[in-house]
Structure 1
Amino acid sequence: MPLSPHDFWQTLAPAGTYPAPDDPAGHIEGFPAHLPDGRELLLPIRVLPGDGQSAVASLIVNQASFAVEDALAGALARLLSPHAPEVIIGVPTLGLTLASNVARHLGHTRMVPLGTSRKFWYREDLAEPLSSITSPTHGKTLFIDPRMLPLVEGRRVAVVDDVVSSGKSMAATLRLLGKAGVSPIVIGCAMLQGSAWRHSLADWADRIVAPLATPLLTLAGDGRWRPAQAASGTGPI
């Protein structure tokens, strides 16, 4: 039975529940992503703007069940743990939910959130334009609260976002942190989507970890979606 939109992201299934990502039969409305322990999460296929021939498997963390969110945060925390981060920085908007959970899994008492809502005490020299694959034309500005700087200065920082796709949002985040004199030791996300991020984040390829990875999908003549390239998500990627 086809899933309703609100049914996705709610359940982790045992290994082997869904067809393999590279199954020759292709996929219709859902694409399976695999956690490092083999459990599977069925993600909705979202057609990208354009000619309708390309799509991605979508993950929206704050629409996931608490059980799925907690599993993703725990898996990401285990991948970040060898880097011994002292501070987790969360990237808005959806990365904030994940970052808070990851920080808890790592035993931290708080995390440092970046923001896109400008407060009157924010500084223009601590701001950076922001765009992403899901909102390419919606102009936003990314800020770090100046009052948070003592928490990150000279610390081992990990940056956490929900999904890295084009890499543009994360690249903007790294530029902003550079303005603040912060050089993260590692980037973590719940899912790496496609491979376009490798261009924007080429210098970081060996310092990005993610428990999930999904490929860009292309539409075949039979109306089914198949991977355009391979992806693996046991990080580093």
Structure 2
Amino acid sequence: MTDSAALAPHDFWQELHAPGTFAVGDDFTSFYVATLPDGRQLRLPLRPLADGHHALASLIINQASFEVVDALAAQLADRLRALDIEVIVGLPTLGLTLASAVAQKLGHTRYVPLGTSRKFWYRDELSVPLSSITTPNQQKRLYIDPRMLPLLENRRVALIDDVISSGTSIVSGLELLSACSIEPLAIGAAMLQSERWRTALDEAGPRWLERTFAVFATPMLDRTERGTWRAPRI
């Protein structure tokens, strides 16, 4: 078995392991093993879906150790560096943790956070509806502080979230930036969760698929007859 030693819920996302510490491609019981581009491994808890037959690996980046956040930010910054990104824009809520760290890794002195809390000086036309796979029943709007717009005009922008899953949140971010006449050069994330996000981004514009960068990707896992979880065979 890949994960013979169970972890307490608060122990996930706290430690990076040397390449080859855990076998990959086997069945999983309590956690999934993600591999970073440099070969290091990160254990992610499994979240069974309501259908009982599928599960997803989970990453809550603001609960991760500083070591893990630093490593994920560094790896994503490395992927974006060749694009000469000038401004990082972060999606709330968890994407802000990663966006801030990536901006620092790229040598920036600040970043532009989007938000869901409307300040009195915000403009309604610079907002869009926002939904998230982790908070499906909460109706929110995504805002940009209009005072930040000069930082984005005629700049090379990357839009960052922690995890891209259904793709709805990242598309909301693209729509908001479009309302500000801003088109990002890149989309970045620590994790691409399953393949469901591809449909939403393709519908937003086929160029976005090739502009999406992530540290690692995780599959939708299938439940086996033994009650374990297995990645689809390729």
CA distance in structure 2 between the partners assigned to 1:229 and 1:11 by the alignment: 28
The size of the alignment, in residue pairs, is 226
Match of 2:226 among 197, 208, 222: 222
Give the CA deviation at 1:228.
Answer: 3.5
- Residue 40 (structure 1) aligned with residue 41 (structure 2): yes
> Unaligned regions of 5+ residues in structure 2, if any?
none
Q: Deviations over 1:199-219 (max 9, x none)?
A: 011221111111111001111
CA distance in structure 2 between the partners assigned to 1:193 and 1:219 by the alignment: 17
- Using a 3 Å threshold, how does the CA distance of structure 1 residues 138 and 66 change in structure 2: closer, same or farther? same
What TM-score, normalized by structure 1, do the two folds share? 0.93
Match of 1:208 in 2: 212
The AA in structure 2 aligned to 1:208 is T
SS of 1:116's partner is coil
- Using a 3 Å threshold, how does the CA distance of structure 1 residues 218 and 92 change in structure 2: closer, same or farther? same
CA distance in structure 1 between the partners assigned to 2:91 and 2:12 by the alignment: 23
Match of 1:159 in 2: 159
SS of 2:13's partner is coil
Q: Deviations over 1:155-206 (max 9, x none)?
A: 1000111000110000111001100110000001001000001101122111
Give the CA deviation at 1:146.
Answer: 0.5
Match of 1:13 in 2: 17
Match of 1:192 in 2: 192
Give the CA deviation at 1:229.
Answer: 6.5
Percent identical among aligned pairs is 56
CA distance in structure 1 between the partners assigned to 2:212 and 2:233 by the alignment: 19
Tell whether the 8 Å contact from 1:215 to 1:229 is kept in structure 2 after alignment.
Answer: no
- How much is the aligned-residue C-alpha RMSD, in angstroms? 1.0
Tell whether the 8 Å contact from 1:91 to 1:160 is kept in structure 2 after alignment.
Answer: yes
Give the CA deviation at 1:52.
Answer: 1.6
Give the CA deviation at 1:19.
Answer: 2.1
> Unaligned regions of 5+ residues in structure 1, if any?
231-237
SS of 2:230's partner is strand
- Deviating above 2 A after TM superposition, structure 1's stretches of 4 or more consecutive aligned residues are none
What TM-score, normalized by structure 2, do the two folds share? 0.94
Give the CA deviation at 1:15.
Answer: 1.2
